[in-house]
């Protein structure tokens, strides 16, 4: 479970949604709370999300549902273990099969 506070000053409520601004499109997007805080985004509680007003000339888009899959801790640990195993460097020296000039064929 993600536990972050609302980005509004002096608000102590738990954040439930993330606000991002797409300046090039003049659009504010209120969506599900992101798994990690991103620079330039704002986490808002339900009170501030419901009362949010866009700047003049901007549109507001509300997105419901999870944007990113939420993984269980055991799934994340299994993924980290798989990445660790894949990143291990082999200590075996490659066997050079043939060589022509500066190019060589190495056995698997």
Residue 35 lies in a domain: yes
Residue 6 exposed, middle or buried by CB count within 10 Å (0-12, 13-18, 19+): buried
Residue 44 lies in a domain: yes
pTM as predicted? 0.57
Residue 38 lies in a domain: yes
Residue 69 has pLDDT above 60, yes or no: no
Residue 82 has pLDDT above 90, yes or no: no
Find all residues with CB under 8 Å of 19, minimum gap 6, and list them. Answer: 7, 28, 29, 30, 41, 42, 43, 44, 49, 52
CA-nearest of 106, 86, 82 to 96 is 106
Number of domains in the chain: 1
The rounded distance, in Å, linking the Cα atoms of 50 and 57 is: 19
Residue 96 lies in a domain: no
Q: What is the DSSP letter of 93?
A: P
Residue range(s) defining the domain that contains residue 36: 1-76
């Amino acid at each position: 479970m993600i536990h972050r506070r609302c980005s509004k000053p002096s608000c102590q409520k738990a954040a439930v949604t993330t606000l991002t601004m797409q300046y090039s499109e003049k659009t504010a997007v209120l969506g599900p709370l992101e798994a990690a805080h991103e620079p330039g985004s704002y986490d808002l509680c339900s009170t501030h999300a419901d009362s949010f007003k866009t700047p003049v000339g901007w549109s507001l888009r509300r997105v419901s549902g999870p944007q990113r899959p939420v993984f269980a801790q055991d799934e994340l640990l299994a993924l980290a273990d798989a990445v660790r195993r894949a990143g291990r460097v082999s200590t075996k020296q490659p066997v050079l099969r043939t060589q022509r000039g500066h190019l060589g064929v190495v056995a698997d």
